[in-house]
C-alpha cells in the first residue's frame, strides 16, 4: 500500500507539472512577442489590432473575487460555526444536505439564476442592465458558500472539547466560549476554507460570463460591466489564432501565477499565526 500511495502522489505531482509546462510553453512566447510589462500593464485589449493588455481583466478578477469573499466569507464562517456548535441535532442533517446540494449545482445553473433573477433585481434597484461587478460578486459569494461552510464546520468540530469546557469553567457563556476559545483554535482551518473559496471565485468562468457584462475595459464602478481573466479566455479561445491565441495562453499563465501567489500568501499567513 505504501507503493500505491506513493504512485498516487506522484501522479498528482506529474499532473501539476505537465499543466505548468503546457501553460509556460504556450504562454511564454506571447510574453516575448508582446512584452511582459506591456502585456500586464496595458489597458487596451483589441485582438483585431494586435493590441493585448490584460490590466483590465486582472483588476476585474481582483474586484470580483474581493467582493465575493467580502459577501460570502462572513456568512459561510458563521453558518459553519452554527452547524458545529449551535444547530439542534435534528436540523443539522437537513442543513448539511442543503449545503451539499448547493455545492453540487453546476456553474451554468448558477449563471442562469444570476441572469434571470439577480441581474433583473439589480437593474430595478440601481438601474442599468444589471450585468455588472455587483451582480458577479453576489453570485460568486453565493457559489463559495458551500466550500467555506463545510471546511469551517469541520475545523470547528475538530477543536478539542477541552477548549470549550475550559472557557465555560472560567465563567464564559456558551456564545463567548465558542467565539473566544473554539473559533480562534480553528482559525487555521477556517482560513483554509476561505482560501479555497478564493480559488473557486478566481477560477469561475461560466457564471461570470453570464452576469458580469464582459466589457474589456478598466473597471469603473460596482454598477459597470467588466471582464475577468477566466471570462476573457472562455469568450475568445474558440476563434483565436496565432498571436491572439498565444495572448490567451499568456492570460492563462497570468491567472495561474496569480492563483498560486494568493495560496502562497495565505499559507505564509497561517504559518506566522501558528508561530
- For residue 151, the domain's CATH number is 1.10.3720.10
Mean pLDDT of 19-32: 88
Task: Report the 10 Å Cβ neighbour count for 56.
Answer: 23
Q: In this predicted model, what pLDDT tens digit does every residue of 144-165 receive, in sequence order?
A: 999 999 999 999 999 998 999 9
Domain that holds residue 195: 2-274
CA 83 to chain centre: 23
Distance CA 225, CA 137 (A): 12
Q: In this predicted model, what pLDDT tens digit does every residue of 186-239 receive, in sequence order?
A: 988 898 888 888 888 888 888 899 998 888 888 888 888 899 999 999 888 888
Angle (CA) 197 60 128, round 5°: 110
pTM confidence score: 0.86
Counted domains in the chain: 1
Q: Is the model's pLDDT at 272 over the cut of 60?
A: no
Range with the poorest average pLDDT among 5-19, 156-170, 255-269:
255-269
In what helix (H) or strand (E) does residue 46 lie, and over which residues does it extend? strand 45-46
Q: What percent of the chain has pLDDT over 90?
A: 44
Amino acid at each position: 500500500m505504501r507503493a500505491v500511495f506513493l504512485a498516487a502522489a506522484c501522479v498528482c505531482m506529474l499532473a501539476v507539472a505537465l499543466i505548468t509546462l503546457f501553460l509556460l510553453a504556450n504562454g511564454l512566447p506571447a510574453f516575448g512577442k508582446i512584452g511582459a510589462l506591456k502585456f500586464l500593464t496595458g489597458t487596451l485589449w483589441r485582438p483585431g489590432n494586435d493590441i493585448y493588455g490584460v490590466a483590465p481583466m486582472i483588476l476585474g478578477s481582483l474586484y470580483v473575487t474581493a467582493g465575493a469573499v467580502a459577501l460570502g466569507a462572513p456568512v459561510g464562517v458563521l453558518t459553519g460555526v452554527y452547524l458545529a456548535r449551535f444547530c439542534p441535532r435534528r436540523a443539522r442533517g437537513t442543513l448539511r444536505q442543503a449545503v451539499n446540494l448547493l455545492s453540487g449545482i453546476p456553474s451554468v445553473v448558477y449563471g442562469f439564476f444570476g441572469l434571470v433573477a439577480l441581474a433583473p433585481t439589480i437593474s430595478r434597484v440601481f438601474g442599468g442592465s444589471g450585468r455588472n461587478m455587483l451582480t458577479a460578486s453576489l453570485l460568486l459569494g453565493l457559489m463559495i458558500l458551500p466550500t467555506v461552510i463545510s471546511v469551517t464546520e469541520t475545523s470547528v468540530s475538530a477543536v478539542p472539547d477541552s477548549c470549550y469546557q475550559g472557557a465555560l469553567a472560567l465563567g464564559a457563556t456558551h456564545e463567548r466560549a465558542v467565539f473566544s476559545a473554539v473559533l480562534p483554535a480553528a482559525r487555521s482551518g477556517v482560513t483554509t476554507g476561505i482560501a479555497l473559496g478564493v480559488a473557486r471565485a478566481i477560477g469561475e468562468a461560466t457564471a461570470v460570463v453570464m452576469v458580469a457584462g464582459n466589457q474589456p475595459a478598466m473597471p469603473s464602478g460596482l454598477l459597470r460591466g467588466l471582464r475577468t481573466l477566466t471570462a476573457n479566455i472562455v469568450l475568445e479561445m474558440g476563434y483565436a489564432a496565432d498571436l491572439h491565441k498565444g495572448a490567451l495562453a499568456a492570460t492563462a499563465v497570468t491567472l495561474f501565477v496569480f492563483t498560486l501567489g494568493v495560496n502562497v500568501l495565505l499559507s505564509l499567513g497561517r504559518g506566522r499565526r501558528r508561530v
